Structure 1
Amino acid sequence: MTAVSANGKVHEKHENGGFVNGHANGDGIASIETPQPIYYKVPQNLETFELTLRKHFEEKTNQKFADYRAFHRFTCDNYGIFWEELLKISDVKLHQDYHQVIDHNMKINERPKWFNGATLNYTENVIERGTATDVAVLNASIDESVVDYTYDQLRKDVYRTATSLRNYGIGPGDTVCGFVPNTYDTLVAVFATAAVGAAWCSASVDFGPAGVLDRFRQVHPKVLFTVNHVTYKKKLIDQTDKINEIVKELTTLQIVVVSDTFTSVKFDGTKYNNSDKFVSLEQFKTPIDDVVLPFVYTPVPFSDPLFVMFSSGTTGIPKAMVHTVGGTLLKHIEEHLVQGDSKKHDRMFFYTTCGWMMYNWMISFLYSKGSVVLFDECPLAPDTHIIMKIAAKTQCTMIGMGAKLYDEYLRLEIPFNAIYDLSRIHTVYSTGSPLKKECFAYINTYIAPGALIASISGGTDIIGCFVGGIKSLSITPGECQCLFLGMDIKSFNYMDEEITNSDEQGELVCVTPFPSMPSHFLNDMDGKKYRDAYFARLEPFWAHGDFVRVNHSTGGVEMLGRSDATLNRGGVRIGTAEIYSVVEKIPQIADCIVAGRLVEEGMDEEVLLFVKMVPGQELTHTIQAAIVSKLRNDMSPRHVPNKIYAVDDIPYTSSGKKVEVAVKQIDPWFSLHFLQLKLLEMDSLKAAVDYSKRLEMSQSMYSSRSSAKQTSSSTRNSHKKNNSTKEKEPTQITASNCKNKIEEYKRAFNFFDANNDGRITIDELEKAMQKCGQRPTKLELRLIMYHGDNDQNGVITFDEFAHLMNGTSSMNQYTYDQLREQFDMFDKDKDGFIEKMEMLSIVRELSLQASFPRQVVEQLFNEADIDGDGKISFEEFVLAVN
């Protein structure tokens, strides 16, 4: 039996009347039968666009395809014919016809152009197909209010905005940017930009100015669309300061258009710097009576820019990828009409921000003549039900979100379909990271029983998907159903050979061209960035960077994580998703992230596991033993991590992917040294400095363990235990003490120095810490800058950074007396030595157990105890701090 409490949480009920989660039977809880997941089954007499297309090709080629997999193989072997026929059968409107589909003599790494000679307009194709009186857009808000816009209203607003853009001289070759939320006004701006043949790029309003400028500076925009305020968690947030900072740096801007439609605060241009550039959206739009009708769209070549998309920026300045008008449109048609079987009556609600490619994917859904639901608020706070409330109110037939959000719903155990009418939902999309088997069961039990779960995977790089769902196949929980048509996907092993064994894991590779490849990267004149991103690994094939297992029995694909974050234990590659699937089932663990690091002795890797504990839980020896046991028994001994650390939070990208690569590139001692500062509860700068000194002393011992290990035997012998010895001159620690760390410091410094100018600013510091999942306060950032900026000129140079990491910053000039004072603090019984229990006692007194669990303290102690006598002398202490 199951019980549903008043707050909508599911409680499993046993025969003895108790509940799994410990809740006793109580008032307001009604028992119901425990539901079981109802997975999607292929209906009899199924009629879909894909089956129609399959029949079309059977008649055209006079052959019979046994199943979807046979049809997929045909579309890959005949990719030119497939994409050409799709363009025709889906009624893409061309202003000028093509004279060549593609040069089949060119390989995928040569980036052949598609439909040469053809011209078209993206917006015209997407918004002119729907019936004028049908609803095109539903704009939802946190208060559950919904505003509908018909296709007629949408077109008129696009015409008005596009006319104004033309009046400012905007057209092909120009770029328009949006620092915007996911609202109707944004949608109009995107379509208006494409209507006049210009390119669009956007950043989500939760980005800071530095992140926005890293992206927008690359495209030299002439127009910026933005908003005066946003709401988040029901709080009204003024964007003025952010906008002023952004506009100040974008010197090519002619005009800034500010929307105030969805807030209670109206536009006031006087509060902006350079106020002459600012105008409200309503002032900007040309009156409909002044728009020349019928509106004339600007046709552009098939391979002209439509969207400029950006990489996540985890390894430097985000790469700017240019996606084409025709390639984007045709790929999205295939995914919405063919794979998704979207129809006129369908209503899509995909939760996304404007900084994620799923936004661009979602708006193309209007090609199906259906409608889209827009929502930009927090999906979990203050209302964990808000997404499903909106889905029910707008009568959605298709919903989607990042897999991480389904994880949260699973954790909360909310039986949404028992609370809201979600009966119209026939397709549930998930992306951003692998969808767990448990989430498949939860979705088909408590959200949409019997619905098709389309776990899709692709990326910003292709502005679409390689794998996903299809209605003509049944699903296997934990797998993406199928390879998408026209996408010639293979899996290659570590020997760079195609895998035909369903049990072997490998790298996802595409071997033939497809229309939605980026035409180029910006600021990449010789194409090196492009080649390095996709072809350097397995040239001439496209290596996408995903680690997968292709199930040759079902045709499905199991996503195992990023291949550049894949673990390598003794030559065997391990997908990080396998570790997550085990560890995240342990009740005391809320989340985790894993990274591999090459050991100095060879090419093997040590595996580092970082866990976020459930509130009130600590990473005890018992829990660590449970982690090790579960991984060893459920997976293999190779899956067992070398070290386990408790951390405050787990870093994610805006699309819900764990930032494994950034974690992998930062040594754990390095990230802990900086990021644990976030855990400090500081009432004043003085308290912060005092605390930091104590924390830093312990951190220094940890981060310097390699230096201590490498001390030569002759040096060891020269440091005899003589506790009465004093230096005549103060001994200060210098950068020369950490020569063996210089290369590591350089890599770490470059991670922080985003613009590669040889200096770390406070903005760069904040951004780098945010990439690692931290949200430092201004006080914490100022403390770190003060700590490392020796000459107090507002930036940290590499020399200062090296001193900082080596323990010689302006706050860490340890003289003999300071070192003796610190040693005496540990030496509680004053016998001239630090023993292990004394070190553990100090860690407890300073409340540093979270940063330094017992196994870490013991490791520090053992590495500082150079002669292995079970205690640390003053000389050994000095070497450890050095």
Structure 2
Amino acid sequence: MTESAPDVLWQPTPESIRATRLAAFAARVAERRGVDVGDPVDYDRLWRWSVEHLDAFWAEVADWSGVLPGVPDDRVLTRREMPGAEWFPGTTVNYAEQALRHATDEHPALISVTEGTLAGESEPVETSWADLRRQVGAFAATLRRLGVRPGDRVAAYLPNVPEAVVAFLGAASIGAVWSSCAPDFGTRSVLDRFAQIEPTVLVAVDGYRFNGRPHDRRDVVADLRAALPTVRTTIAVPRLFPDEVPDGALSWADAVADEQEPQFEPLPFDAPLWIVYSSGTTGLPKGIVHGHGGVVLEQHKQLALHGDVRPGDRFYWYASTAWIMWNIATSALLVGATVVVHDGAPAYPAVDAQFALAARTGITYLGTSAGYLTACEKAGIRPGETCDLSRVRAIGSTGSPLPASAFRWVYDAVSPDVFLGSLSGGTDVATGFIGSSLLLPVTAGELQRPMLGVAAAAWDEQGRPVTEELGELVVTEPMPSMPLYFWADPDGTRYREAYFEPWPGVWRHGDWLEVTGRGTCVITGRSDSTLNRGGVRMGTADIYAAVEPIPEIADCVVLGVEQPDGGYWMPLFVQLAPGTELTDDLVARIRQAIRTGASPRHVPDEVIAVPGVPHTKTGKRLEVPLKRLFQGVDPRKAVNAGAVDDPALVEHYVGLARKRG
């Protein structure tokens, strides 16, 4: 599909390559393993070795990082199948211990900002490593006092605030399992996630500010407490009402009052660390369980080797606690970096907010979403001229494909010298599949390569690797941060169905991938029906659960359509009950139902009345084929008419797609 090489926007030099952490790691591999990695290091050679010698590669990462030194190759991956790979049996790792081992007085652990900070109403707040350790120790002691044991779940309904970091590390330190939702999620969406995992403790905020407005969540928290019978204790985090503590709850101040050094539970490598959630495209969101050891090693690889993040760096990624990027941003503590914690809207008080934040706090690695960079481009701003971005070495982008024009905008309007890395991974593995490296040039609209240790490829429908054409993104070898299991899936059936069909033993991720003849990669969006706005994924089932109770709605289908220019169009098609019209009032009620029942991030761009909703003959809405119609795919290729309950209905959507196209 790729006709010619795109613009090269940034090029490493032999000197810049040799100065990277990855080059130092590669030199170590060359010396210890006798591998010819080139001089300066050739990324493709190193990647090929990493996927062909998984045991040796991960043994080197474990030793180099200091996490698990000296583990012999034959004790790294003792069972290689997927699912069910067994990594580093007999070893112990505690994520919180690893995250807090870099304590130093030379730079803070956290820098926290709010919307008020960027509006000039308050100053950034620094948390030293020593203070973070003592607060984590205090919170962990409180959990132990409350009877929380290893394996118990601690659930959080919190924005991106320091309390979330402290609570997460405190839970991890004692072996409790963490899970979080952002407070913009409505009651039903939160319960769809938390009710499954039966938490023992709920850490909840009373409200949050977004786009300059307060949002009171006290009623939602009360509903959650009433609907989660396993919660023995609620710990109340104040944001809007500092003098209020709900009846029967423990205040955050009391939970961290007894500051002390943390005591870390030694945990098996595959002990559960956190539960994050699939989109819930069909049924309830699936609880994805990741392990301590796999996450720690993957993040050392991703952040230190691919991102070149170092002790003393100031690492930022705009994220909510509902997005895996919050977990990954917090993981910068593992490599000794300062984490910049931002509670607020991505573009408040102005569209350049994240660049202004970088200037204000001295960020060295600025992580954001493709949607934000595209919005900045469309707004015509030039932050390189209005903000002091001299300390920003790298910009990371994820959440959706970054279009070529936004790449060019970064190098024109931000800095010609910054390293721009576009990443593609997922909640499913808490890391990237396709990523960036300072060893490689940056080309407009492309991701650089599969990441080290990731045997990623594009496959056609027959399961054959393809280049220069779209295929399914697959991974053919295990990764240590692949899920341990799904929650409440004792025989692994849902896990296998999610990733290992149609090819048993091969991970099918659900993204469209093109590998070019030059080895670069292009992700064009989801090959499934997941709704993915700015990286925050939600299943279509959440939308249907909010809309279907409205009596005027007979049926509906929602689509998340990635656009060629990097935009994202999310229409909701509604079949109305007989005698009903799609009035402005009904549209407003539909939008409000989704805003409060599901998520304000996933309110549709348009509500469109249709004569009906086509289904498969087994009763499933025809989401992916309809999405492909609106992406310009030939209807004969997009829809198998023989599998549709009412093929005539499809013609209506074909007409809408042609009109829109």
**Category of TM-score, reference length = shorter chain:** 0.7 to 0.9
Q: Do 2:402 and 2:422's aligned partners in 1 also have CA atoms closer than 8 Å?
A: yes
For 1:164, give the aligned amino acid: T
Q: Do 2:8 and 2:444's aligned partners in 1 also have CA atoms closer than 8 Å?
A: no
Alignment of 1:266 with 2:242, yes or no, is: yes
Q: CA deviation at 1:467?
A: 0.9
Query: For 2:286, which of 319, 342, 358 is the aligned residue?
Result: 319
Give 5+ residue unaligned stretches, structure 1.
1-36, 567-575, 578-646, 685-698, 707-740, 752-805, 807-851, 860-882
Quick one: distance in 2 between partners of 1:507 and 1:420?
41
Q: Do 1:96 and 1:117's aligned partners in 2 also have CA atoms closer than 8 Å?
A: no
Number of the residue aligned with 2:344: 377
Number of the residue aligned with 1:703: 611
Query: For 1:523, which of 485, 488, 492 is the aligned residue?
Result: 488
Q: Do 1:163 and 1:286's aligned partners in 2 also have CA atoms closer than 8 Å?
A: no
Q: CA deviation at 1:112?
A: 1.4
Number of the residue aligned with 1:114: 87
5 Å-filtered alignment, 1:747-826, equals 747=620
Number of the residue aligned with 2:11: 41
Query: For 1:137, which of 72, 90, 110 is the aligned residue?
Result: 110
For 1:281, give the aligned amino acid: W
Q: CA deviation digits over 1:238-293, x for unaligned, max 9?
A: 21100011111110011111112x44x21423xx4xx22x11100122422xx4x5
Quick one: distance in 1 between partners of 2:198 and 2:73?
31
Structure 1 residues 388 and 155: CA distance shift in structure 2, 3 A? same
Alignment of 1:159 with 2:134, yes or no, is: no
Quick one: distance in 1 between partners of 2:187 and 2:340?
28
3-state SS in 1 of match to 2:10? coil
Number of the residue aligned with 2:600: none
Number of the residue aligned with 1:181: 159
Structure 1 residues 118 and 94: CA distance shift in structure 2, 3 A? farther
Number of the residue aligned with 1:73: 48
Quick one: distance in 1 between partners of 2:77 and 2:578?
53
Q: Do 1:172 and 1:300's aligned partners in 2 also have CA atoms closer than 8 Å?
A: no
Q: CA deviation at 1:677?
A: 4.2
For 1:327, give the aligned amino acid: G
Number of the residue aligned with 2:34: 62
3-state SS in 2 of match to 1:182? coil
3-state SS in 2 of match to 1:217? helix
Q: Do 2:158 and 2:181's aligned partners in 1 also have CA atoms closer than 8 Å?
A: yes
Structure 1 residues 178 and 673: CA distance shift in structure 2, 3 A? farther
Q: Do 1:183 and 1:375's aligned partners in 2 also have CA atoms closer than 8 Å?
A: yes
Q: CA deviation at 1:492?
A: 0.9
Alignment of 1:505 with 2:467, yes or no, is: no
Structure 1 residues 180 and 673: CA distance shift in structure 2, 3 A? farther
Number of the residue aligned with 2:185: 207
Give 5+ residue unaligned stretches, structure 2.
1-6, 118-122, 533-555, 590-607, 625-648
3-state SS in 1 of match to 2:444? coil
Greater RCO, CA 8 A, separation 6+: 2
5 Å-filtered alignment, 1:23-422, equals 39-46=9-16, 47-66=19-38, 67-92=42-67, 100-104=75-79, 106-109=80-83, 111-144=84-117, 145-260=123-238, 262-263=239-240, 265-269=241-245, 272=246, 275-276=247-248, 278-288=249-259, 291=260, 293=261, 295-422=262-389
Quick one: distance in 2 between partners of 1:673 and 1:68?
62
Q: Do 1:101 and 1:114's aligned partners in 2 also have CA atoms closer than 8 Å?
A: yes
Q: Do 1:180 and 1:205's aligned partners in 2 also have CA atoms closer than 8 Å?
A: yes
Structure 1 residues 81 and 675: CA distance shift in structure 2, 3 A? farther
For 1:285, give the aligned amino acid: V
Q: CA deviation digits over 1:626-667, x for unaligned, max 9?
A: xxxxxxxxxxxxxxxxxxxxx9x98599xxx9889x97xx8x
Q: Do 1:138 and 1:146's aligned partners in 2 also have CA atoms closer than 8 Å?
A: yes
Structure 1 residues 551 and 678: CA distance shift in structure 2, 3 A? farther
Structure 1 residues 742 and 432: CA distance shift in structure 2, 3 A? closer
Q: CA deviation at 1:743?
A: 7.0
For 2:142, give the aligned amino acid: S
For 2:14, give the aligned amino acid: Q
5 Å-filtered alignment, 1:664-703, equals 668=573, 670=575, 677=582, 679-680=584-585, 703=611
Structure 1 residues 302 and 400: CA distance shift in structure 2, 3 A? same
Quick one: distance in 1 between partners of 2:422 and 2:367?
9
Q: CA deviation at 1:435?
A: 0.4
Could you say which structure has the larger radius of gyration?
Answer: 1
What is the aligned residue count?
A: 572
For 1:559, give the aligned amino acid: I
Q: CA RMSD in A?
A: 3.6
Structure 1 residues 354 and 94: CA distance shift in structure 2, 3 A? farther
Q: Percent identity?
A: 28
Number of the residue aligned with 2:528: 564
Quick one: distance in 2 between partners of 1:103 and 1:214?
36
5 Å-filtered alignment, 1:423-438, equals 423-438=390-405
Q: CA deviation at 1:44?
A: 3.5
Q: CA deviation digits over 1:283-327, x for unaligned, max 9?
A: 122422xx4x5x321111000100101012233210111000000
Structure 1 residues 671 and 414: CA distance shift in structure 2, 3 A? farther
Quick one: distance in 1 between partners of 2:567 and 2:284?
19
Quick one: distance in 1 between partners of 2:421 and 2:100?
25
Q: Do 1:182 and 1:353's aligned partners in 2 also have CA atoms closer than 8 Å?
A: yes
Structure 1 residues 94 and 674: CA distance shift in structure 2, 3 A? farther
3-state SS in 2 of match to 1:39? strand
Q: CA deviation digits over 1:786-837, x for unaligned, max 9?
A: xxxxxxxxxxxxxxxxxxxx9xxxxxxxxxxxxxxxxxxxxxxxxxxxxxxx
Q: Do 2:529 and 2:623's aligned partners in 1 also have CA atoms closer than 8 Å?
A: no
Number of the residue aligned with 1:729: none
Quick one: distance in 1 between partners of 2:230 and 2:567?
35
Q: Do 1:491 and 1:498's aligned partners in 2 also have CA atoms closer than 8 Å?
A: yes
5 Å-filtered alignment, 1:545-584, equals 545-553=510-518, 555-564=519-528
TM score, norm. by length of structure 2: 0.80
Q: CA deviation digits over 1:691-733, x for unaligned, max 9?
A: xxxxxxxx99x617x9xxxxxxxxxxxxxxxxxxxxxxxxxxx
3-state SS in 2 of match to 1:107? coil
Q: Do 2:62 and 2:69's aligned partners in 1 also have CA atoms closer than 8 Å?
A: no
Quick one: distance in 2 between partners of 1:97 and 1:282?
46
Q: CA deviation at 1:236?
A: 1.9
Which deviates further from its counterpart, 475-484 or 433-442? 475-484
For 2:501, give the aligned amino acid: A
Q: CA deviation digits over 1:353-375, x for unaligned, max 9?
A: 00000010111111221211111
For 2:24, give the aligned amino acid: T
3-state SS in 2 of match to 1:190? helix
Q: CA deviation digits over 1:171-192, x for unaligned, max 9?
A: 3111101000001111100111
Quick one: distance in 1 between partners of 2:169 and 2:583?
42
Quick one: distance in 2 between partners of 1:165 and 1:94?
31
Q: Do 1:93 and 1:125's aligned partners in 2 also have CA atoms closer than 8 Å?
A: no
Number of the residue aligned with 1:6: none
Q: Do 1:95 and 1:118's aligned partners in 2 also have CA atoms closer than 8 Å?
A: no
Quick one: distance in 2 between partners of 1:468 and 1:521?
26
Q: CA deviation digits over 1:12-68, x for unaligned, max 9?
A: xxxxxxxxxxxxxxxxxxxxxxxxx99322033121111111111111222312411
5 Å-filtered alignment, 1:7-22, equals none
Q: CA deviation digits over 1:130-171, x for unaligned, max 9?
A: 314521111111122311111111111111111111111213
Q: CA deviation at 1:385?
A: 2.4
Structure 1 residues 96 and 154: CA distance shift in structure 2, 3 A? farther
Q: Do 2:529 and 2:559's aligned partners in 1 also have CA atoms closer than 8 Å?
A: no
Q: CA deviation digits over 1:191-220, x for unaligned, max 9?
A: 111011111010011000100000001111
TM score, norm. by length of structure 1: 0.60
Structure 1 residues 682 and 84: CA distance shift in structure 2, 3 A? closer
3-state SS in 1 of match to 2:385? helix
